Each structure stands twice: as structure tokens, then as C-alpha cells.
Structure 1
């Protein structure tokens, strides 16, 4: 591949890690096999709220096709794979007895990765809470921190001999905001949001302690979605709304986890849920900061919404991906610089990618130049941040496979690999070859 097609990586460290990311509910399928319990997303899919009434029942059938998918990773040349464990697969009721069949699946996956020379990065929680725990209050119950620590103990005991890289949560601001804030307008919902934020933070701290105590040489972080929140207009009201959302979206979790304090504007609301010593329980030593970044978000004031915000219009001049997300590599570079300045931890970019609805052409090939240009621009921006002193040590594309994209179902495709959901055939896209070429060019 001509080097002119590759991004500038001159400022990245020689041991920089290139990887791909997925999550359990989005790719595994097999939701009713081998003793797996129900998750909150199994139940939500039954409401019909997902586009095209899609569900995660089959997804990419990774549960049965994991060897093929590890083969794809080996062909890519990635050094690491970030995945998540489905809590209800390994502990169907969230508490109590473990499910040996579910644990054995992850044994097989981890062993397959290691045999391929790929380091497993295990995320404990990517949004699929066991439904049995939701019925006990879920993250609104302070006991959820105990449940999560017990689950982390199970994972550490079973996989800690082979897995050393652990993330506690993926994007806690996203699953708290979108389940408890967006579209909610009553005061009790606001209190629930703050209670949930605090309990998830407590669960994070408890899990860090469990992993640290039970896994030799564990390397631990949390994965945060950081998107600059910008006002949709020049009005003071929109500026205030954007600033307010920025606190909840970008600071409500990393600040207490990494700095031992909540953002000032949140403290009064969090205070009713605090007990003595809580901040010390939350702020446990971490080894790295996991960053997910896609684009800025544009915000307008909305007086009747819970936090006084809604999503507003984007600038007409801003280029967009096919799914309408802004393309702004400079925002990525600045986000990396901000995280470096605020938290002082090594940074691993654990999600960055491009969504479209691309289909195979008449020859069966999937040609996606837009994704290639996006990845090239964002990796260039990452290199620029590294040249300014940002300690960024890895980059993982979202995602290895087209998959179930939450409320959008299967209508949006982020994969380097095309998945035909009828046949489940995998077809590497042109971006797959491009990324493989980049990784190969980076080898000593």
C-alpha cells in the first residue's frame, strides 16, 4: 500500500498498540442458549423501540463463530482485542450461582486470542445488566456496587491467569444519561440520575479493588466517552445548556474516579447519596484512561427537559458521516490534549469509527473510502496530539464487525468487516485491508 494513503504516525511510541473493539450484546447472539440469563437489553428489544424491531437474539452469532472472528483479527494484524463479558451469560441472575457454560465460552475465546498472538482486553460491563438485578433496582440500588464487585471477583478468578488488561465500565455517562436524563422532565428522575451516577462510580471503585487484589500484574482503567458539547447557536441559553451537558457527559465519572471529586456544579445534587468515605472508595489507583471519541455534539436549551438541554442543529458547513455525525478531527486532537492535562494518565483510544449503511457492490466487494478517509484523518489528529506531548499508547477501531447498534438495530454499520445478517457471512471491507496495511507498516 502506498505510504501516501497512510496517516502520519511518526510521533506515536514504538510499542503503540493497534486493536479493534466489540461488545457482548452487540455481536454474540445466542441469547437463549447454554443457560444465559436475560439482560435489560433483551427486555428492551421486546418493546419494539428498536429500529425495524431488531433484537440482539442472533446479532453476528459470535458465540458460535468466534474462531472465524479471531481469524479476521489475525489477518488484520492487531495486537489487542477489546471485548466485553456478558454478565448474564456468566451469572444468569446477576448474583449467586455462576454458569459454567458461559464461563467456558470466554475461556475458549481468550485461549483462541492468545494462540493467535492477540492480547485480550476485557471490559466487565458494556450495558447488558442482568434483568434480575434491574428488578432489584439495578444501578439505583446502592447494593449494585456489591453485586458488581462479586461479579468482578468471579471474572478475576476465572480469567486473571490469562487476562491482565481490564476495564470496569464502558461509557458510564452514556448509559446513565440516556436511560435517566434524555426526555425525562420530572424531579424524581433527576434524583435517580444522580443516584445512578454515584452508585456506578462506587461499583467502579469496588471492582478496581477486587481486580487489583486478585489479578497479578493487572492493568486497569475505565472507558469514557468524551465528546465536546458545543452550543447550537450564539445564544447565552444554548451556551449554558452546552456547559451543563458537558459536565454530565464528560466529567461526572472521570473526575471522581481519577481526581476524587465531583464537578462543582453536580455536588449538591450528588450529596444526598453520599456516605462518609465514598470518594475514597471511588478514587482508586488506575493504570490508564480509556477514551471513546466520535465527534462533538451540538446542544440547544430546552426549558422543559430535565437538565435543560436537547440536541440542536449542527453547523451547515460541518462535514458529516452518512449517519449524520460531525467529522471533526481537530476536536479529537483537542479532546486527547484535554484528557492528558486533566487526568495525567496514559490514554488508550478504545473506540473511534465511522458509521454508514454500505452494501456489497455487484462483485460482492464492500468499498468504503469514506471510512478510510475518516480513520486516516483521526489517526493524523491523534499523532498531532502525541507530538504535543500527549501520552497516547493505543488505538482501537470500532468495530471489527458490523453489529447491533443499540436503538438503530442493524441499520448502521461501523465494521471493518461487512456482516450479511441473513447468512452471517463475513466480508472484509476495503477499510479492513487499509487498516491491515497500516498496522503492517508500523511493524519494526
Structure 2
């Protein structure tokens, strides 16, 4: 006989995880500074006269990109000379091998020819390396802040460019000592810049100083903030609000998962693989008490994804249920100007692309041609796109489109020790707690 007892997280929290979320609740917002992750004053690896500088202030650069060169006439001649010498020695070496095969020269003469060839190959590699040193490459992905030099100037060790790494950004915080122990590595925080409208900025704590500044009674904290497309500038003052955080102990699942405790009142053997009917209770796989977790994996766009997941997780699940969810969702279409002819529409699109506008296409509209500037599933993303285009003085609007979509779910019950395997197969964003009615169906 088995009895199934459900407990709230408050009741079994001490069994499953150490909850430190309360620690962050009483931390008031703290002043902070948004800074580039790294500042690099780039100089040339060798002294010389600058021949070209391919970037200027505010230009984006990629790691390894050639952003300038020094005059390298002598080095290019050295490479060409080494290649010609190597070409000649290759001919002589081939002749020496033929003569040795015909026993005209000794082995010592052939080895000498082989050695001369290897030395000239090394000379060529050295010449090419010296030529390559005349190229100035960016050591980071980032943006040019300052350009110190210009073509024609002689440089030695002084910097030529100043670069900033803007993705990710780092956020430096000086916190009162009263918060020590409440803020830990891995904790998330909301960032509120002093200027600009930025929604949903969340950073992650990556460094918490272990040494307190006795004079000021403070300690340092560093957070990391993603900054795709460099939308957020460095140098902004901000406020940081730390969010609750849970440290899992028994298993790594979302904090609002409610465990189901299955108590085995009789000693019975573990059943072999068998499909559980709706009238059977969920059996444990070993004697004693066993914790079970109910989770809904999804939503997935393709049914094949769920079927594949069922196959991979079949040995980790006590019971599962495949579910299809149909609903009407809003899509947000950004529309631009309407033109009578295709050629005029195409000309406008070309001008927009030159201005830096991407994701532009032409659609037919009531016998005419309209510029389409993207279809978005999130309203916030559509509004950001709309405002950016309006700032460039483009006449744009948003149309709401109703679309019927199907989403596929896998509801399942499993033991906590299977959590590690499940985390490997299912991304965190697809792991959700079970609704009450789903949980009831799975355990009845």
C-alpha cells in the first residue's frame, strides 16, 4: 500500500534546498556604475611609420581584425627574397637527390642539400612573421574610443588606439558592510540606469570581495550585464536592486516546483518496466520514502521534439503525459510607407539599408507595395523597433495580427536524482512547474 502526501515548499524546503532568498529582500537599492568590461590602449608590436589606419572613433572592431598597418616595404622584399632563394634550393635539392640515387654524390652531399633547404624554409617563416608584425590587430571585440595617431606618424611604444569591450558590460558596486553575506556570487540584480529608457536590464554577480575596507566600512561587488548590439553605453551611473536567490541542495529545479512525497508503507520489490494505468498509484523504485517532482516541459513548436524527448527520458520518468495546447497569440507587424510601384518601393528600401536599417522587405498591399520592417512575437521588442525607426524620421506603424498556434508539452513525474540527466536534455527555459490539474491527473 502506498500513501501519496503533498507538501508545500514551505513544509519541505529544509529537505530540498537551503533558501536564502530572504537575505536579498532587505537590501535597498545601491548606487553603481556601468563600465566597459575592458579598456585596451593598443600599440604596435614593433616600431615604425603608420601606413594605414582602417578605423576611427566609434567604429566597431572584432577580435583579430586588422585595424592598421605599418610601412613594410623592407619586410615585403625580405619575404620575396626568401621565396626566390627557396625556389632555387628546391631545384638544387631535387637534383642532389637524383645524383645521390645514381650514386654520383655521397650521402653527406645530399644531407647538406637537405639541410640548406630546411634553413631557407625557416628563413621564409621568419620573414613572413616579421611582415605579419607590421599589421595591427584588435585583441578584443569592442569599439574604438580614441584614435591617438594618424598615417605617416612614427610610433614606438605609445598607444595608437583606445578600445573598449562593451559586451558584456561590468557594473561596479561599493556596498555597506551590513550587506556582507547577503550578496553572493551568481545572484541576479535589476539594473536601473540614471539616464535612458532601458527595460528588463538584469545583471549577474560575478565577484564579491572577501576583504572589507575598514576605513569606509564597505566591500566591492562586480556584476556582468549582457549588451548585445551595444545598446547600452558605458559610463552610466545606475541603481542596482538585488533579487532573491536560492541555492539548490537536493536537486536543481525551479524554485516553485512542488515535490510529491510518496511514502512506501510496505516493503515490496521494484516493479519492472511497466506502463502505469490511471488507477495505479506511483510506485517508488526503492524501499523507504521517495521524493517525486512534477514538471511540464515546453512549450515546443514541433511535435517531433516532444517525441524525441520522450524516447530519451523514458528511463527517468515514473509517468508522463503528452499534451497539445492551442491558443491565439498576437504578432506585431512593423509597417512602413506604401508606394504605387515596386521600383519606388525598392529604391526606398535601398536608401534605408544604406542608413543602417536591416530586416526590410516588400509586401503587396491592396494593389500597391508596402515596406515591411519585421514581425515580432513580443510587444516590447516591436515598440523598441518602432521607436528606433521613428527616431530616424521614418513613417512607421504597428499592426496587431491574430495567429492560431499550437504548442506541444510533455508533463512528467520523476525522482530528484534524475534532475541532472533531465537538465542535460532539457534547456532551463523549457522546464516549468506542473499546474494543479496536471499534477492530479499524473498521480491519480
TM-score w.r.t. the length of structure 2 is: 0.17
- Greater gyration radius: 2
TM-score (normalizing by structure 1):
0.17
